[in-house]
Amino acid sequence: MRSSIFMGATLILLGALALAFNLAGSMLGLSGWYGGIVRFWPLGVIMVGWLLVLFPILVRGWRGLGGLFIPGVPILTTGGILLLGSLFDWWEAWEWLWPLEVLSLALGFLFAAIYLQSIWLVVPAIIIGINGLVLQFCAVTDLWEMWAVLWTVEPLAVGLSLLAVALVKRWPGLFVAGLILCGLAGVGFLMITGILAATVSWPWLWLVELAAPIILILAGTLLIAWNVAYRSKVSHPF
């Protein structure tokens, strides 16, 4: 039953790719298989990634198959960027879109965590995802000098991942550790922006100057809220 569903979905995907192949080929003025193969070869990469993602969805019950999301999503992303570059002869897209590979890896870990019901896989998903977002921002804006400040997202990412685990596992100590790391990241933001504000005149510094106090306020608020909730639980266990 599962094999027939998998084969059916694969045939549907092949048919959809063939339809897209013919329609896009007509719109781009490509005729014959040679022009199609030259311009549409990334569809093979997309097909591999799609099968890796589709297999654990259709073949339920084998929990280990959830690991296929981790390579599958990045391969899909790679195929999409390659297809964009091949169809429109815009290979410069890699200059702006390469951080999507990092983000897709984080997404693969997240899908695997959901499929395998493992909170520990959320940890690399958060850390890699936050780094991917920062890399994507720098790639689009070309503000790579912002890493003078944005390196502090590393303790922030670790802190957020600890918070995620602590909330699911209900480990108070880990929750406090996560909040402390988030608070340290906010302090780092604040100190570095203060130093840079006195030495350089970058127009984007105001963004980080706003972000640092916000992180500190959120971390402090969560710490107080957790303390109040924990004390209330101890005082009234039932």
Q: What is the pLDDT along the chain (238 residues), one digit of tens a residue?
A: 555 665 666 667 666 666 665 665 555 555 544 455 567 788 888 888 988 998 888 877 777 788 999 999 999 999 999 988 887 778 888 999 999 999 999 999 999 999 998 999 999 999 999 999 989 988 988 888 778 777 888 888 898 899 889 888 888 888 888 888 888 887 777 777 666 665 656 566 566 666 666 666 766 676 666 666 655 554 544 4
The answer to whether the Cα torsion of 76, 78, 84, 86 is positive or negative is: negative
pTM above 0.85, yes or no: no
The answer to whether the Cα torsion of 113, 114, 119, 123 is positive or negative is: positive
* Token pair in block for residue 78: 């790679």
Q: How many CA atoms lie within 13 A of 124 on its CB side?
A: 14
* Token pair in block for residue 59: 């073949």
Q: Is 9 exposed, middle or buried (0-12, 13-18, 19+ CB in 10 A)?
A: middle
Return the domain boundaries, the chain: 1-138, 143-238
